[in-house]
Amino acid sequence: MNNIQNLILDSHDLTNAKLEKLLSAACPKNIDFADIYFQYINSESWVLEDGIVKSGSSNIDSGVGIRSVSGDKSGFAYSNDFNFDNLITAANMSKCIVEHGQSRTIKIGEEKKIKRLYESVSPLDYGKDETKVLFLKNIDKYIRDKDSRVDQVIVNLVGVYDSVFVLNTDGVNVFDDRPLVRFSVMVILKVGERRESGSAGGGGRYSYDQVIDSKFGYNFADEALRQASVNLKAIDAKAGAMTVVLGPGWPGVLLHEAIGHGLEGDFNRKKTSAFSDLIGEKVASDQCTIVDDGTISKRRGSLSVDDEGCETKCNTLIENGILKGYMQDKMNSKLMKTSPTGNGRRESYSCLPMPRMTNTFMLPGNYESNEIIESVQDGIYAVNFSGGQVDITNGQFVFTASEAYLIEKGKITSPIKGMTLIGNGPEVLKKVSMVGNDLKLDDGVGTCGKEGQSVPVGVGQPTLKIDEITVGGTQV
């Protein structure tokens, strides 16, 4: 049984008749639509630093958000008190975007049966706390035994079980139970006075058994060690305009930030995006096809239904360089006279939904990765990024590489450090000349921020070549 049905609806006697009264109170006749979003979330986090548990926390939160929408205005109230009279008060508050309105009776729809992309299993039900701590300690010991240069190790394990229930005046009535786990490890190596770090991790919508009862954590430990070892040999990067090859997988975070946010519906409705009013226009090289796909089983960014109760889809955003569409929630799609795309997301019951990405990535092309590298006489191969920022109004971005190499005469040579990529998202897309056939999605660590809300997402891409982009470096 869904946590919300058991712990909230039944225990507080919130019958269908009472839920219909809540929807009716939130949606008089001059309100376009209203929805109610119940949430019960149970989470825990473990941090092991240098063999010692530095942090162990658990949290249970539950509540309900009630929204009334009229045009581009949203009235919203939320509560973690499930007393029916208090919820009616919240529903009346949410409709305060209009002064008055003739009441009407709303009937809730039949419960929607959805295709579930993950099992309804709580990671927190796995084993005892001691089992999780022992796993983290074993990872720490494995790393230290493997390399005598290890100076510091930080290992993190997070588990979340999120239950939601969405009702709205369009007849949506749907439950979803969402497991999520995330593992990460950071290693610092020291040689003389030089210290360099490497980090890796992954996760998805499943339970701890796929992490603890496998080589999952040890593989990422090896990867973090490898990155740190590479960085110990890295030389300073030079600056200038040059050809850059982006590796497969996590470098798709550049697409997410520099292009993805600009394709969210609200920015385009308000005409604050660099992609506003460009549907049907060429906005990228014909090598580029970019999708947002929330339907991939067990992926971190996937959802069986979004936070407005719409089933997620694979939405083509850019096809062969042509802008095809935006990511939409219910309100923006209505105002832009289009359809929701399953991208209505919110951080919690206390937040309004808005258009957000799920798993956003570029589809594969026709080139072998080695063919792309061999085509570059003098350039850079960027494999991992540690962070960046973007201005969605004009597409300007700055990204810092955490692992990158020189390309000299068609071969990958010395690792470099202190490299940044500086450019304009739409302009960079037009300079993509080769796209590999080696599409890879990230390992499941992405979190996206927007207007103060954070949600889990996925990114990805194949190897791709950008003919020219500005590179910042530290070489003097």
| Other residues' Cβ atoms within 10 Å of the Cβ of residue 130 | 8
Of the candidate ranges 6-15, 36-45, 174-183, 436-445, the one whose mean pLDDT is the lowest = 6-15
pLDDT over 70 (residue 101): no
Residues, the chain, total?
476
Q: Tokens 């996760």 identify what position?
A: 203
Backbone torsion region of residue 322, taken as left when φ is above 0, otherwise alpha when ψ lies between -120 and 50, otherwise beta: beta
Domains of the chain: 3-232 (3.30.2290.10), 236-472 (no CATH)
Residue 426's pLDDT is 87
Residue 458's pLDDT is 97
At 334, list the tokens: 């209505």
pLDDT band at 96 (very low <50, low <70, confident <90, very high): confident
| Other residues' Cβ atoms within 10 Å of the Cβ of residue 388 | 18
**Secondary structure (H, E, C), the chain:** CCHHHHHHHHCCCCCHHHHHHHHHHHCCCCCCEEEEEEEEEEEEEEEEECCEEEEEEEEEEEEEEEEEEECCEEEEEEECCCCHHHHHHHHHHHHHHCCCCCCCCCCCCCCCCCCCCCCCCCHHHCCCHHHHHHHHHHHHHHHHHHCCCEEEEEEEEEEEEEEEEEEECCCCEEEEEEEEEEEEEEEEEEECCEEEEEEEEEEECCCCHHHHCCCHHHHHHHHHHHHHHHHHCCEECCCEEEEEEECCCCCHHHHHHHHHHHHEHHHHHCCCCCCCCCCCCECCCCCCCEEEECCCCCCCCCCCECCCCCECCEEEEEECCEECCCECCHHHHHHCCCCCCCCEECCCCCCCCEECCCEEEECCCCECHHHHHHCCCEEEEEEEEEEEEEECCCCEEEEEEEEEEEEECCEEEEEEECCEEEEEHHHHHHCEEEEECCCEECCCCCEEEECCEEEECEEEECCEEEEEEEEECCCC
Each residue of 276-313: b (16+ CB within 10 Å) or e?
Answer: eebeeeebbbebbbbbbbbbbeebbbbbbbbbbbbbbb
**pLDDT (mean) for 75-95:** 94
pLDDT band at 362 (very low <50, low <70, confident <90, very high): very high
Contact 161, 120 (CB under 8 A): no
pLDDT band at 282 (very low <50, low <70, confident <90, very high): very high
pLDDT over 80 (residue 387): no
Each residue of 73-91: b (16+ CB within 10 Å) or e?
Answer: eebbbbbeebeeeebbbbb
At 27, list the tokens: 């949606």
Among 33, 1, 21, CA closest to 310: 33
Q: What is the mean pLDDT of the chain?
A: 94
At 443, list the tokens: 């390992």
pLDDT over 80 (residue 98): no
In the chain, pLDDT over 70 holds for what percent of residues? 99
Contact 369, 436 (CB under 8 A): yes
Contact 254, 420 (CB under 8 A): no
pLDDT over 60 (residue 1): no
**pLDDT (mean) for 116-129:** 93
463-475 pLDDT, tens per residue?
999 999 999 988 7
How are beta strands 240-246 and 458-461 bridged, if at all?
unpaired
**pLDDT (mean) for 333-350:** 97
pLDDT band at 99 (very low <50, low <70, confident <90, very high): low
| Greater pLDDT, 387 or 232 | 232
**pLDDT (mean) for 45-57:** 94
pLDDT over 90 (residue 41): yes
pLDDT over 60 (residue 108): yes
